Structure 1
Amino acid sequence: MTQMMLTQYSGRILGPIAKLLGYLMNGIYIFLDNVFHIQNIGLCIIVFTVIIYVAMLPLTFKQQKFAKLNKIMQPEIKKIQEKYKGRRDSASQQAMQEQTQAIYDKYGVSPMGSCIQMAIQIPILWSLYRVIYNVPAYVPRIKATFASLVASIMAVDGFQDKLTSLSESVSIRNLNVDFSVTDTTELGNYIIDLVYKLPTAGWDTFRELFSSLSGDITAMQESIMNYNYFLGLNISESSWSMIKLGGQTGTAWFIIGGILIPVISALTQLMNIRLTSANAAYDANDAMGRQMKMMNYFMPIFSFIMVFSLPIGVGIYWIAGACIRTLLQLLINRHLNKLDFDQIVEQNKEKAKAKAAKRKERRGVYENQIRSGASMKTKNIDTSKIDNAKNSNKNYKSGSMASKANMVKNYNNSQNKKKK
């Protein structure tokens, strides 16, 4: 396991997430290999995506339920906004916030409810990019396929200089290797990093530099194509790289596939957003409505651009995710249409009243304690009767208002006990 750690992404935030996703990806790969004898990372990504979105189904349902309730309560929110329109003083702004929050409480809706899923998706997306970009570091069975070639390379005279020349000639982005290290384990990981990330055009150079290993290198290339290619496209390369390679080699499918992945990604994102926004509540004529409309178009465009520059595997995840979300959204919408939202609103109103009463009660008790503490002359209290209060008062700063209020409270409690 120590050897596997050396080539994994080590970022403080995304590193641990990538490691967890790597465990899941490895488990899926082992399952597909053992049960169906399928060794393909592209298919693993699709299965991985299904698992992620099914696991998030309760959160998605809750989010869409909130969106539906939000649509129902919008007329009340607008009345409050109209009431305080043009009033910028702090008292009016605070009153508007409190009344708006009361509406949210009444309907049981969280203002941040729609942001939670996006907040979860972003780190998953970027962490998955790290896993796809360096699959052998997270899937031991794939890393094991490199062992024989790595041993053969290390047996070649001057292999370190040749590997350095190879890495410089192919100019792989984000490749950090150092073939001058003496530790054989670390050196072996660097070799795997380079070989796995070699673009299609780099394999000929690899064979030229290590001509005595030409057969082993070709076998390694075929092995990588077996598990790292999906529909004839290398998932670790970007769509743009595949398009350029298609132009250089005259392979039409590389060009077509390189274009289709971003286009399909954008279209599936747009389809999903259109379906999801049916439950959203915003007026296309106000500022927020225009902003939401702009975001609805921005996300597909963003997806189109990013998939061009990120590995195709990320594009597969994005497409599979949009398709799965669309399917789940259809099921959620069907279920939401059967719910009695009038009854749900009434239940939320009762819960909101109970919460408001508790907050008011707590606020009233605290304010009474503060007023009592402020008005009472604590020096006239018989301190012999409140020895316990001293001990319970030790967490408050001596002489503070809270300290006095707590002292009064404990004194009153001791008096009430005596009366009983």
Structure 2
Amino acid sequence: MRKKYVILSLIIGLSLLLAGCTEVDQPITAESEGIWNTIFVYPLSWSITKIAEIFNNSYGLSIIIVTIFIRLLLMPLNVKQIKSSRAMQEIQPKLAELREKYSSKDQNTQMKLQQETMQLMKEHNVNPLAGCLPIFVQMPILIAMYHAIVRTEEIRNYSFLWFQLGSPDFILPLLTAFFTFLQQKIMMSINPSANMNPQIAMQMKMMLYMMPIMIGVMAFFFPAALALYWVTGNIFMVVQTLLINKPMMSNMNSGGVKK
């Protein structure tokens, strides 16, 4: 668990470092230099602009389309995350047995516990880092989306529905928090066996409430276009999670899942 947070912190730090190497107030163009601009920011800005031209310069609709396209590209990672989460929950009884077997806190016993835990995960093809893969990939994209919005004048000054894309909104952050909560709630509901492990249950419950609050508060201070990107992505994830887990649950109930 600590390794996951360390790697996540490194990815976020690297993304912020790359983003910090460019000036937010500098317009993004094809001539913009730097890895961050050429690989992340400009392709997003160009895609949003070109798609908007197809739909009568509707940059809001373009952001929704680009978001869905990004989510489709990330779908294999998200499927892997969901399956890994399911597999991790299925081996919780065996993990609990190992913790009970090696309950002593001395160093040798804890090393033995760690070795057998890793062996158990290997036997069941469980990768504890798989659940973090989508987050690792999404962080640079999220920051790049922010840069693409504030550094592209056409996007920044465009009004969509009731809000201006380049200015903060008051309704979208609430929707952002709600759909983040809904996504987390669905993930918990499809993994009821998480309650077998008090530590995991406590972590998931904390994330259920803390993540929506944190993201919702941040959305109040960022351009509405970024909140639109997040809301669209969360709605997509809710639908995707339900579609993926319905056949998985049916297979499990019919005994179709085999190790």
Which structure 2 residues correspond to residues 28-177 of structure 1 after superposition, within 5 A? 28-33=48-53, 35-36=54-55, 38-85=56-103, 87-136=104-153, 142=154
User: Contact 2:93–2:196 (CA<8 Å) still a contact in 1?
Assistant: no
**Structure 1 gap segments, 5+ residues each:** 1-5, 137-141, 143-195, 198-223, 240-257, 347-420
Aligned CA-pair RMSD:
2.7
**Cα deviations by residue, 1:18-39 (Å, 9 ceiling, x for unpaired):** x435324423432442x44x20
Output the amino acid matched with 1:268: F
Q: Which has more radius of gyration? A: 1
User: Contact 2:44–2:144 (CA<8 Å) still a contact in 1?
Assistant: no
Number of residue-to-residue matches in the alignment: 231
Output the amino acid matched with 1:303: I
In the superposition, relative to structure 1, how do residues 345 and 70 fare at CA in structure 2: closer, same or farther (>3 Å)? farther
Distance (Å, rounded) in 1 between the aligned partners of 2:33 and 2:106: 45
Give the secondary structure class of the aligned counterpart of 1:237.
coil
**Cα deviations by residue, 1:170-220 (Å, 9 ceiling, x for unpaired):** xxxxxxxxxxxxxxxxxxxxxxxxxx97xxxxxxxxxxxxxxxxxxxxxxx
Q: Normalising by structure 2, what TM-score?
A: 0.79
Q: Normalising by structure 1, what TM-score?
A: 0.50
Distance (Å, rounded) in 2 between the aligned partners of 1:70 and 1:11: 43
Distance (Å, rounded) in 1 between the aligned partners of 2:92 and 2:51: 48
Give the secondary structure class of the aligned counterpart of 1:56.
helix
Query: Residue in 2 aligned with 1:402?
Result: none
Distance (Å, rounded) in 2 between the aligned partners of 1:127 and 1:276: 27
Answer yes or no: is 1:274 the counterpart of 2:204.
no
Answer yes or no: is 1:233 the counterpart of 2:163.
yes
Structure 1 segments (4+ residues) deviating >4 Å: 9-13, 340-345
Distance (Å, rounded) in 2 between the aligned partners of 1:16 and 1:92: 50
Give the secondary structure class of the aligned counterpart of 1:62.
helix
Query: Residue in 1 aligned with 2:4?
Result: none
**Cα deviations by residue, 1:98-156 (Å, 9 ceiling, x for unpaired):** 110111011111011111111112221112111111114xxxxx4xxxxxxxxxxxxxx
User: Displacement of 1:291 after TM fit?
Assistant: 2.1
In the superposition, relative to structure 1, how do residues 322 and 118 fare at CA in structure 2: closer, same or farther (>3 Å)? same
User: Contact 1:107–1:345 (CA<8 Å) still a contact in 2?
Assistant: no
User: Contact 2:44–2:145 (CA<8 Å) still a contact in 1?
Assistant: no
**Structure 2 gap segments, 5+ residues each:** 1-25
Query: Residue in 2 aligned with 1:221?
Result: none
User: Contact 2:28–2:37 (CA<8 Å) still a contact in 1?
Assistant: no
In the superposition, relative to structure 1, how do residues 69 and 285 fare at CA in structure 2: closer, same or farther (>3 Å)? closer
